[in-house]
Amino acid sequence: MIAQFPALQVVIPLLGAPLCIILRRGALPWLIALLVSWAALAMAATLLSQVADGEIISYALGGWLAPLGIEYRIDTLNAFMLLLVAGTSSAVLPFAYKSVAKEIPQDRHYLFYSGFLLMLTGLLGMAITGDAFNVFVFIEISSLSSYAMIAMGRDRRALSAAFTYLVMGTVGATFFLIGVGLIYAVTGTLNMADLAERLPPLYQSRTVLAAFAFISVGILLKLALFPLHLWLPNAYTYAPSVVTAFLAATATKVAIYLLLRFGYTVFGAEFVFNIVPASEVLLTLALAGVIIASFVAIFQSDVKRLLAYSSVAQIGYIILGISYANVTGLTASIVHIFNHAVTKGALFLVMGCVAYAAGACRLESFAGLGKRMPLTMAAFVIAGLSLIGVPLTAGFISKWYLVLGAMEKGWWPVAAVILATSLLAAVYVWRVVEIAYFRDAPADAPPLSDPPLALLVPTWVLTGACVYFGIETSLSLGFAEQAAIQLMGGG
Amino acid sequence: MEKHWLVRPKTIRLLWIVMLGVLAVTVLLQLGIEIHGEFHIDETFGFGAWYGLGTCAVMVIGAKILGAVIKRKDTYYD
Amino acid sequence: MISGLPPGLILIAGAVAIPFVGPTIRKGLVLALPVLTLALIWGTGIDAGTVWSAPFMGYAVSPVRYAPTGMLFATVFSIMAFGGALFALRSARPSEMAAAFLYAGSAIGVVFAGDLITLFVFWEIMAIGSTMVVWNGSSDAARRAGLRYALIHFFGGIVLMIGLIGHIEATGSITFDVMQADAWPRWLILAGFLINAGAWPLSSWIPDAYPEASPAGMVFLSAFTTKTAVFVLLVGFPGTQALIYVGLFMIFYGIIYALLENDMRRILAYSIVNQVGFMVVGIGIGTEMALNGAAAHAFAHIIYKGLLLMSAGSVLYMTGKRKCSDLGGLFQSMPITATCGIIGALAISAFPLTSGFISKSMINQSAADQHMMVVWLLLTAASAGVFLHAGIKFPWFVFFQKDSGLRPPDPPWNMRAAMIFFAALCLLIGVFPQPLYALLPAPVAFVPYTGAHVVGQLQLLLFSGLAFFLLLPLMKRTLTVSLDVDWLYRRAAPAVIAWIARDLRELSDGVLGGTRAQVGSIIDSMAHYHGPAGLLARTLPTGRTVFWVLVILAAFLVFNFS
């Protein structure tokens, strides 16, 4: 049974989606999605424990052996991403029950949960497959379903946000496909491990160079690296609360995983950092993204949008770590993928709570919430501290390693930028806190209180995780380091 | 209402006299107690007295001069 | 098991519990927890060494290290937490009490830290706790001052963190021990420490933020941040010569600004800078006696400064007034507050038989022993200056001078009890210094009470008093504030930014023929680019993304084929 987990990891959510449509009555779709997600989490945890000692699982789908068949190949990084994706969906789905009931018409609930499971399938598939074309298939599954999910937002602007995302996402996926096509043309294989062996002799080939350019630009668009982030703010702002929390925590992160996988495993660090100037390009874009997106976040008037821009900045931090091209920087990036997912997940669930109670996440509607929704806003403050990177929160761990990696390179101005921009994060978090705690609600404001436990508990689970992973780092940091060493070819 | 005894002019005059007496005693005490300084200056007679008086005057006047430059109305930052 | 508990955790756990318990339990809790902390410091039988280590972030951190200096500071921090809690018992809101306990607990965490990472963690929590204490002043001014305070400490945290990571990266060791200020990571660590000590030029946060806290809040604030900084300097940088000059500057800065000040609690805030200056000088001198003196002075200072601020806090609490020009003559109706205030004032001035005398004279003596004549002369002048600005000025203008006509009674019993407790401590330590000397890091051979010492000090102080009354006409209270370095970020920087923004606008008006509607200030002009509809924040055009996609793709391709 356990031997079949790699396949079941993807197949179960995939089968759950139509099941939601068949059993569409009442709370059943939600229950199916929840159980599927928890099952996926259990399987991801099992897989992670199997690769914890550095072993790599290779699974031939349908019994067709690689390189002809599709291989699912799980090392520490894959398993870590599977855990992240399944863990996030397992944490937000309990939240979804009440939140979706409030935000989406009853007759479309089954579609929502079915789409959610497809999104989950796509992301899990991207994280698990060892086949380059198969990656494209899963990108499309997850993208198409997420366009639909975003369009379900209450605001009419959700439609245009989803459309913009669709256009840009399709551009990205197409570029990716062009790149994969090019390397297939020169190597005749789509299996990643196989590609890794066949590509080195072809490093000077123009086709391979072009393929790398297409693949990386396609992925950079999917992971919303500045200035290719323009689809992200509207998508996050207008999507239903649950979708935003799930996408923010996972979708861009899995795209970053793809960047790592193609950069280090398929093309190889030697090619990426010595032949192609990836380090310089990534460093420039990451720094620009961190600084500009942080400033932009400060001036937002909608808190969901503020957090969306903050995500663009945080993606910049992750890419920054990759650009160091050393183990510490890579560890920082991977651990920040995890820590930021937990933090942003918590923050967007808080937004879900506020949207549930107050109906909107505009800055002015936060006035007086510190008193009126004390538990919700306390979660915001704690997760906000993690976003800033205060000690004993998850964000601090990432910040420490990002700075440490920069120091190892001797890039102390970069270290200064990292810490100075965390001051900007403090400013945009502060803007919300100030209004919530120091400004009184207008006299004619309707009475508000904390949302029901069904929303508060998941929010606080993720908020607690922000603190837990700031103290107990052996899971997050331990696996991140192991994954980084494996990627760098040391394991 | 009668003034508190401590702030009547008569008491204040008395306090001044007592205080000047105490000052004289502390200086005169040095006749009986030998002070071993590390430097020469601190072995001069009544060092604490003249040094304290002098440096305090310098500090007060210095503050006054600096104050002329840096003092602003207390609503300055409002 | 209990013996390995980090002592600071007790108060931090209390901070978490305080908002959730009823008023009666809360009162019991805040008085019991500091006592429990003391028991954990002294009752476990451990007196030296790292108790345990734990993995954190890939390092082995040691959150509990017993050492004499740390235990001394933790002891006085616990006493302060108890006295402060007693003083705040009835007036403080739960949120303020919780913040104060978080603050005190993390300060104890710092002094027990065996490694730089633990130190930094508690350091940052301390900044958060203290900011929350300032905010609980609950006025608009407190909110703004608290924000400035938070930003300065955030900045200090950044400086410290770069230094720490640079140091750890270079040496591979996280142990917190004596360091030499010989390379930039250590210079940054030193600078980070000094920012929290209130060293110039970043000292104005003390008189800016502390007096905006509540009466009880400032009692807490006066004790922990600057003294943990003294502790880390004492352990990390003893004998660093630069500290002598930094400390001397702080001393005279504190005196001069306090002399100019009109707000009674701001006078005491400047006097914190002044007193910490004495300790920093002691650390800079770095001999065994100087370090003992710095540690002892920190101990004594926390108690008498707490007492002075309780006295000032009581006046503020009962009258609602904080300016010397509005106060005066209060001794008639607040005899206990006045008496305790005077005892605190005598102690800060180092009068014989008070705690200040037996601690400060160690620092002065060590300067003399090292034959540092200029330093000694300046320290002696400063001792006179302390009597001038805090010893007489504070009680005189608040409790005596002209009669303001105010006749408030003494404050409630808990505030009176806290003041009497601290006043008694000031006198007890002054009369029986041996128990305190026994706690100091090195054995003490120093004898404070010799005829020469006492007579010399009495001459110095009494003649300073004479100078005060003779020069009283020069010290008329005025309704003023004094400009300080904070003018740079409160006035100059905003003005410069606004000026540049206007200039840019004129420039762009000129270039664009003045056709564009322009924004009014830098905020607006930045919002113009960064705001929801700004150039850098516009989200609709898919064309723009495609443009960037092509630019980056082209960049890759051009690089590749060139």
Residue B56 lies in domain:
5-70
Of all residues in chain C, the one with the smallest CA distance to B46 is C459
Q: Among A51-65, C16-30, C539-553, name the most confident range.
A: C16-30
Best CA proximity match to C223, nearest among C266, C272, C157: C272
More confident residue, B10 or A460: A460
| A171 token code pair | 């551009």
Asked if residue C303 belongs to a domain, the reply is no
* Residues C243 and C232 placed together within one structural domain of the fold: no
| Chain-centre distance for alpha carbon C291 | 20
Residue C230 has pLDDT above 90, yes or no: yes
Write the DSSP symbol of residue A361. Answer: -
List the single residue in C463, C480, C491 with the smallest CB-CB distance to B48: C463
- Residue A391 backbone dihedrals phi, psi, to 5 degrees: -55, 150
Please give the average per-residue pLDDT across A113-122, as a whole number. 94
Is residue C301 in a domain? no
Q: Which of residues 126-165 of C touch A (CB under 8 A)?
A: 128, 143, 147, 150-151, 154-155, 158, 161-162, 165
Band (pLDDT 50/70/90 cuts) for residue C537 is low
Please check the confidence at residue C348 and state whether its pLDDT lies above 90: yes
Average pLDDT over every residue of C459-471: 90
pLDDT for residue A403: 93
On chain A, the residues whose CB falls within 8 A of the CB of C545 are 168, 171, 221, 227-228, 230-231
Q: Cis link prior to A67 (omega < 30° from 0)?
A: yes
Q: Is residue C300 part of a domain?
A: no
C-alpha span between A344 and A462 (Å, rounded) = 9
Yes or no, beta carbons of C467 and B33 under 8 Å apart? no
Regarding whether C495 and C365 lie in a shared domain, the answer is no
Assigned domain for C399 exists:
yes
User: Nearest Cα to A199, choosing from A97, A272, A267?
Assistant: A267
Q: Do the chains contact at C526 and A299, CB–CB below 8 Å?
A: yes
CA torsion through residues A241, A244, A246, A249, sign: negative
CB contact (8 A) between residue C539 and residue A175: no
Determine the pLDDT at residue C501.
72
Mutate: best of B43, B53, B72, partner C, most C CBs <10 A: B53
Which among C252, C452, C490 has the least Cβ separation from residue B77?
A: C490
Q: Looking at the structure, do residues C254 and C173 belong to the same domain, yes or no?
A: no
Give dist(CA C493, CA C500) in Å, integer: 10
Contact C534 A296 (CB under 8 A): yes
Banded model confidence at residue C548, pLDDT cuts 50, 70, 90: confident
Does C12 share its domain with C130? yes
Which subunits have 3 or more CB–CB pairs within 8 Å of chain B? Answer: C
A173: CB partners within 8 A, 6+ apart = A136, A139, A140, A143, A218, A222
Q: What's the Cα-to-Cα distance from C401 to each of A418, C266, C326, C373, rounded to whole Å?
A: 54, 19, 11, 37
Contacts of B23 in chain C (CB under 8 A): 462-463, 466
Is A390 part of the contact surface with chain C (CB cutoff 8 Å)?
Answer: yes
pLDDT at position A279: 86
8 Å CB contact of C553 and A217: yes
Residue C306 forms part of a structural domain: no
DSSP A398-462: HHHHHHHHHHHHT-HHHHHHHHHHHHHHHHHHHHHHHHHHHSPPPTTPPP--PPPHHHHHHHHHH
The secondary structure of A12-53 as a DSSP string is HHHHHHHHHHHT-STTHHHHHHHHHHHHHHHHHHHHHHHHTT
Longest dimension (CA), chain C: 90
Q: Do B35 and C368 count as a contact with CB atoms less than 8 A apart? A: no
- CA–CA min distance B11, chain C (Å): 14
What pLDDT band is residue A65 in, cutting at 50, 70 and 90? Answer: confident
Q: Are residues C243 and C223 in the same domain?
A: no
Give the per-residue SS3 of B13-25.
Answer: HHHHHHHHHHHHH
**Subunits with at least 3 CB pairs below 8 A relative to chain C?**
A, B
Residue where the block lists tokens 């409790």: C399
- Counting as contact any 3 or more CB pairs under 8 A, the partners of A are C
pLDDT band, residue C540 (cuts 50/70/90) = low
DSSP letter assigned to residue A131: B
- B21 close to C (CB below 8 A): no
Residues of chain A neighbouring C154 (CB-CB closer than 8 A): 423, 426
pLDDT band of C517, cuts 50, 70, 90: very low
| The token pair that represents C261 in the structure block | 């000040």
Shortest distance between the Cα of A131 and any Cα of chain C, in A, equals 24
Cβ-based neighbours of C404, under 8 Å, separated by 6 or more: C326, C327, C328, C329, C330
Residues C64-106 pLDDT 10s: 999 999 999 999 999 999 999 999 998 888 999 999 999 999 9
Q: pLDDT per residue over A121-175, tens digit each?
A: 999 999 999 899 999 999 999 999 999 999 998 888 888 888 888 988 999 999 9
Please count the residues of chain C: 562
More confident residue, B58 or C553: B58
Give the bridge partners for C480, in sequence order: B73
Q: Considering CB atoms only, which of B27, B66, B74 is closest to C459?
A: B27
Residues C278 and C363 in one domain: yes
- With a CB-CB cutoff of 8 Å, which residues 430-459 of chain C face chain B? 451-452, 455-459
Q: Which of C423, C455, C480 is the last residue of a domain?
A: C480
In chain C, residues 24-83 whose CB comes closer than 8 Å to chain A: 55-58
**Cβ contacts of A328 on chain C, cutoff 8 Å:** none
Do A403 and A415 touch, CB atoms closer than 8 A? yes
**CB atoms C542 and A164 under 8 Å:** yes
My answer on whether C61 and C192 are in the same domain is yes
At residue C531, the 3 state secondary structure works out as: coil
Mean pLDDT, to the nearest integer, of B4-16? 84
Tokens of A325: 């091209």
pLDDT at C36: 93
Q: Rounded to the nearest 10 degrees, what angle do helices A76-103 and A28-51 cross at?
A: 160
Q: How many CB atoms lie within 10 A of CB B44?
A: 12
Residue C520 confidence class, pLDDT cut points 50, 70, 90: very low
Same domain, C229 and C173: yes
| Residue C274 shares a structural domain with residue C342 | yes
Dist CA C360 CA C346 (whole Å): 13
Question: Angle at Cα A276 formed by Cα A275 and Cα A277, nearest 5°?
Answer: 120
The pLDDT-based confidence of C117 (bands split at 50, 70, 90) is very high
Q: Both tokens of residue B41?
A: 């200056």
pLDDT tens readout for residues C360-417 = 999 999 998 988 989 999 999 999 999 988 888 899 999 988 888 888 889 999 999 9
pLDDT for the residue numbered A254: 95
What is the average pLDDT across C26-53?
Answer: 87
Q: Taking the domains of chain A in order of start, what are their residue ranges?
A: 278-491
Closest CA–CA distance from residue B23 to any residue of chain C (Å): 7
Any CB–CB contact under 8 A between A167 and chain C? yes
Asked if residue A35 has pLDDT above 90, the reply is yes
Residue C302 lies in a domain: no
pLDDT in tens, A379-417: 999 999 999 999 999 999 999 999 999 999 888 899 989
| Nearest-angstrom CA–CA distance, C182 and C559 | 42
Q: Which two tokens stand for residue A192?
A: 């990643």
Task: Give Cα separations from C282 to A45, C230, C233, C375 (angstroms).
Answer: 57, 10, 11, 11
Query: Could you tell me the pLDDT band of residue C519, with boundaries at 50, 70 and 90?
Result: very low
- Nearest alpha-carbon partner for A83 in A471, A489, A469: A469
Number of independent structural domains in chain B: 1
Is a pLDDT exceeding 70 seen at residue A335?
A: yes
The whole-number pLDDT of residue C562 equals 58
Q: Specify the DSSP element, H or E, that contains C226.
A: helix C225-236
Taking residue A2's Cβ as centre, other Cβ atoms within 10 Å add up to 10
Structural domain tally of chain C?
3
Neighbours of A62 (CB within 10 A): 8
- Alpha-carbon distance A288 to A307, whole Å? 18
Quickly list H helices, A262-411. Answer: 269, 278-298, 303-323, 327-358, 369-372, 374-388, 394-409
Q: CB–CB of A420 and C158 under 8 A?
A: yes
The mean pLDDT of A25-54, rounded to a whole number, is: 92
Question: Omega into A227 within 30° of 0, i.e. cis?
Answer: yes
Interface-testing mutation among C556, C558, C561, with chain A (most A C-beta atoms within 10 A):
C556
| Cα four-point dihedral sign A226, A228, A230, A233 | negative
pLDDT of residue C514: 39
| Chain C positions in Cβ-Cβ contact with residue B48 (cut-off 8 Å) | 455-460, 463
Q: Is residue C240 helix, strand or coil? A: coil
Give residue C523's pLDDT.
58
| pLDDT confidence of residue B1 | 58
Q: Among C542, C546, C551, which would you mutate to test the A interface (most chain A Cβ atoms within 10 Å of its Cβ)?
A: C542
Closest CA to A251 of A92, A382, A100: A92
First to last CA, chain C: 66
Q: Which of B25, B41, B56 to substitute to test the interface with C, most C CBs within 10 Å?
A: B56
> Does position B71 have pLDDT exceeding 90, yes or no?
no
pLDDT (mean) for C273-279: 95
Nearest CA in chain C to A481: C58
- Collect all residues of chain A within an 8 Å Cβ-Cβ radius of residue C94: none
CA distance C137 to C133: 7
Is the confidence at residue C325, as pLDDT, over 90?
no
Q: Identify the pLDDT of residue C226.
A: 94
The reported pLDDT for the residue numbered A148 is 92
Touching, B vs A (3+ Cβ pairs under 8 A): no
**Higher pLDDT among residues C355 and A55, named by residue:** C355
d(CA A202, CA A271): 10
State the pLDDT confidence band at C513, using cuts at 50, 70 and 90.
very low
Amino acid type, C74: A
Q: Please report whether residue B75 resides in a domain.
A: no
Q: What confidence tens digit (pLDDT) does each residue in C232-260 have?
A: 999 999 999 999 999 999 999 999 999 88
Q: What are the tens digits of pLDDT across the range C414-456?
A: 999 999 999 999 999 999 999 999 999 989 888 888 888 898 8
| pLDDT for residue A438 | 85
Co-location of C323 and C382 in the same domain:
yes
CA distance C377 to C356: 18
Q: Do C534 and A299 touch (CB under 8 A)?
A: yes
For the beta carbon of residue A90, count every other beta carbon within 10 angstroms.
Answer: 21
pLDDT, one tens digit per residue, over C174-196 is 999 899 888 889 999 999 999 99
| For residue C31, pLDDT beyond 90 | yes
Does the beta-carbon distance from B38 to C465 stay under 8 Å? Answer: no
Does the beta-carbon distance from C262 to B74 stay under 8 Å?
yes
Average pLDDT, chain A: 90
Please say which residue of C237, C252, C272 terminates a domain. Answer: C237
Average pLDDT, chain C: 88
Task: Give the helix/strand (H/E) hosting C122.
Answer: helix C116-135
Give the model's pLDDT for residue C516: 41
Q: Determine the pLDDT at residue A491.
A: 44
pLDDT for the residue numbered B35: 74
- Residue B76: closest C-alpha in chain C: C481
Distance CA C4, CA C50 (A): 9
Query: Does the beta-carbon distance from A408 to C169 stay under 8 Å?
Result: yes
**C511 is in which domain, residue-wise?**
486-561
pLDDT band at C524 (very low <50, low <70, confident <90, very high): low
Whether C and B touch, i.e. at least 3 CB pairs below 8 A, reads as yes
Cβ neighbours of C542 in A, within 8 Å: 164, 167-168, 230
State residue C274's pLDDT score: 94
* DSSP element (H, E) containing A11: helix A5-22
Q: Which residue is it, tokens 């205030």? A: C341
Q: Is the distance from CB of C266 to CB of C279 less than 8 angstroms? A: no
Residue A247 pLDDT grade (very low, low, confident, very high; cuts 50, 70, 90): very high
